Amino acid sequence: METVYVVKGMTCGHCAGSVTSELTALPGVSGVDVALDTGKVTVTSEGALTEDQVRAAVDEAGYELVGTAS
């Protein structure tokens, strides 16, 4: 399953790496793709993740989860 989130504050490859590392650590996550120009983060997972799980991981990386992309 793929879900696209919007993350605020990422500006460089290091930012993307930090967010990717934290999200990949969540149970069931098999892939993370970050688009710095849009702030969109596509998370591929075995099942649905709660927004709280994703928010906590993004917060741990030092960034702000805005929500899911429409």
| DSSP conformation letters of 26-67 | STTEEEEEEETTTTEEEEEESSPPPHHHHHHHHHHHT-EEEE
Structural domain span for residue 6: 2-68
Residue 48 banded pLDDT, cuts 50, 70, 90: very high
CATH number, position 49: 3.30.70.100
Which pLDDT score is estimated for 70?
A: 72
Average pLDDT over residues 51-70: 95
Q: What is the number of structural domains in the chain?
A: 1
Tell me: pLDDT of 47 over 80.
yes
Q: What is the pTM of this model?
A: 0.94
The model's pLDDT over 4-44, given as tens digits with 9 standing for 90+, comes to 999 999 999 999 999 999 999 999 999 999 999 999 999 99
Which pLDDT score is estimated for 54?
A: 97
